[in-house]
């Protein structure tokens, strides 16, 4: 059975009322509008415009509030420079795809395991059985859809591909623009609790900070972004696509933040478009980052030498996944695109191995969020594209020539359970490091693990340049 996703371009009133009622069962006082377009306890006003235009609404979602104010929204001009045609996007997975997934989960065959609950060989069978049991019997994809659809989402042609993105305007007038880029094995879902803390900090536990207008695109082939049709889509290409997206939305100057693949995309943006990127904030440095070494550059410091040894040791013991992705991604993709349980094990093992917290997976993460993320990979059926990004980036690493420097300043958040954090001087070989923070808790998935901590870091960092 072929898996597919279904999405709709919505004007003010969806034409399919059955679809509308299933997707948005709880609404405000106007039943004609989806939840994120309807009245809420926070506001009694809204503006409705034709398709592709701005809609001003107030939305409340406990425990965080998301407030959408008038201004730039995809397809509607705040200034004369907005020129990108966008389509409003709502997630609606076909019922047949859900039935197919349920059938596959029920037919799962589990591997034998020598270590029971120990993660030494990867994801333990006992833990995977618990995850699959919850996925099969308790996980509610429609509820996950509704949560995702609370965020205003759009698609637009960028660099020849249809790109999915979340776009939320800040509550403050003339809020500076900020683009967030995720990585693998994550998605825009990692950012759902981070976004309100950036677009409306005062109402989400961070008073005293100015809001950002936030754009969160899905990497090509991830979630609801179209997969590349030919080789060559690496972080450098994505950086050009993201710059085109921001320019098309009317943001001629913006901040950039990222981790994992998002860090390399953000660095490429600063490298290629220094006149547009006001500053960078990173919580990870890509292994593809290669600063200039040798004369006339200074020798390695003891901290740099120790870090390079630790990185090589980590790659030897934990980097097998990366080597497969970088060499034979298609072979692995055949297995993962056909088995939701295999896909879940490949993804969730990394969330556990690279994160901070309790030893029990279900205590460390909200399992519904993890399964929402895995489900996006499953329903998109673009697993090969997500893995191939590693091979594309290996072919064009972030190598810098002697004397080359990045112009936009860098702020870096070092989380203790991140994958082998580099020393500051390793980054200072290329960057002007304006801020360096050592955080007390958190790992590779900072937006998901520590959304308040990361939001505060972003506010304090970019506040230096506003």
CB distance 396 to 236 below 8 Å: yes
**What SS3 class is residue 410?**
strand
**DSSP letters spanning 293-346:** -STTSPPPPHHHHHHHHHHHHHHHHH-HHHHHHHH-HHHHHHHHTT-HHHHHHH
Tokens 């006003």 sit on residue: 45
Compute the Cα dihedral for 22, 89, 174, 276 and give only its sign: positive
390 annotated active-site? yes
**Active-site option among 251, 377, 390, 415:** 390
Q: What angle do CA 396, 316, 182 make, to 5 degrees?
A: 50
Identify which of 310, 278, 305 has the alpha carbon closest to the alpha carbon of residue 293.
Answer: 305
Q: Of 69, 281, 444, 459, which one is the catalytic site residue?
A: 444
Question: How many angstroms separate the CA atoms of 125 and 347, rounded?
Answer: 14
Structural tokens at position 46: 């809204």
Rounded CA separation 181/258 (Å): 5
Using alpha carbons only, give the angle 64, 65, 70 rounded to the nearest 5 degrees: 150
Residue of 167, 260, 281, 459 marked active site: 260
- Closest C-alpha among 439, 182, 421, 151 to residue 306: 421
Distance CA 392, CA 234 (A): 5
DSSP H or E segment with residue 217: strand 213-217
Secondary structure (DSSP) of 94-105: -HHHHHHHHHHH
* Helix, strand, coil distribution of the chain in percent, nearest 5: 40, 15, 45
Active-site annotation holds for 116 = no
107 contacts: CB under 8 Å, gap ≥ 6: none
Are 243 and 272 a contacting pair, CB within 8 Å? yes
**Pure H helices in 150-203:** 195-199
Residue 368 appears among annotated catalytic residues: no
Residue numbers annotated as active site: 260, 390, 444
């Amino acid at each position: 059975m072929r898996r597919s996703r279904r999405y709709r371009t919505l004007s003010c009133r969806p034409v399919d009322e059955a679809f509308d009622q299933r997707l948005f069962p709880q609404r405000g006082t106007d039943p004609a509008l989806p939840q994120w377009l309807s009245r809420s306890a926070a506001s009694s006003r809204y503006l409705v415009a034709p398709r592709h235009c701005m809609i001003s609404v107030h939305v409340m979602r406990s425990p965080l509030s998301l407030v959408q104010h008038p201004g730039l929204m995809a397809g509607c001009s705040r200034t004369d420079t907005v020129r990108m045609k966008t389509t409003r996007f709502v997630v609606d997975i076909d019922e047949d795809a859900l039935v197919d997934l349920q059938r596959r989960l029920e037919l799962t065959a589990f591997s034998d395991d020598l270590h029971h609950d120990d993660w030494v060989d990867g994801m333990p069978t006992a833990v995977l059985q618990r995850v699959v049991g919850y996925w099969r019997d308790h996980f509610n994809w429609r509820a996950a859809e509704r949560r995702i659809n609370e965020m205003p989402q759009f698609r637009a042609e960028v660099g020849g591909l249809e790109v999915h993105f979340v776009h939320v305007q800040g509550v403050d007038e003339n809020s500076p623009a900020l683009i967030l880029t995720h990585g693998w094995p994550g998605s825009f879902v990692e950012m759902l609790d981070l976004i309100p803390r950036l677009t409306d900090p005062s109402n989400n536990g961070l008073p005293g900070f100015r809001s950002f207008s936030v754009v969160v695109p899905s990497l090509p082939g991830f979630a609801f972004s179209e997969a590349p049709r030919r080789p060559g889509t690496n972080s450098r290409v994505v950086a050009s696509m993201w710059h085109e997206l921001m320019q098309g939305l009317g943001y001629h100057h913006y901040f950039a933040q990222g981790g994992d693949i998002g860090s390399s995309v953000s660095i490429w943006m600063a490298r290629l478009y220094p006149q547009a990127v006001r500053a960078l904030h990173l919580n990870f440095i890509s292994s593809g980052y290669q600063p200039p070494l040798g004369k006339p550059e200074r020798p390695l410091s003891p901290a740099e030498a120790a870090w390079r040894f630790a990185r090589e040791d980590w790659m030897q013991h934990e980097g097998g996944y990366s080597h497969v992705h970088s060499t034979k991604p298609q072979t692995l993709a055949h297995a993962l695109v056909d088995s939701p349980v295999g896909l879940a094990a490949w993804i969730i093992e990394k969330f556990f191995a690279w994160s901070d917290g309790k030893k029990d997976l279900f205590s460390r993460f909200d399992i519904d969020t993890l399964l929402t993320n895995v489900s996006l990979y499953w329903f998109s059926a673009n697993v090969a594209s997500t893995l191939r990004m590693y091979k594309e980036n290996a072919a064009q690493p972030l190598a810098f020539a002697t004397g080359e420097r990045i112009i936009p300043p860098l702020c870096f958040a070092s989380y203790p359970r991140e994958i082998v954090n580099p020393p500051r001087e390793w980054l200072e070989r290329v960057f002007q490091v304006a801020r360096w923070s050592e955080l007390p808790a958190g790992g590779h998935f900072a937006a998901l693990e520590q959304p308040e901590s990361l939001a505060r870091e972003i506010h304090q960092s970019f506040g230096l340049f506003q």
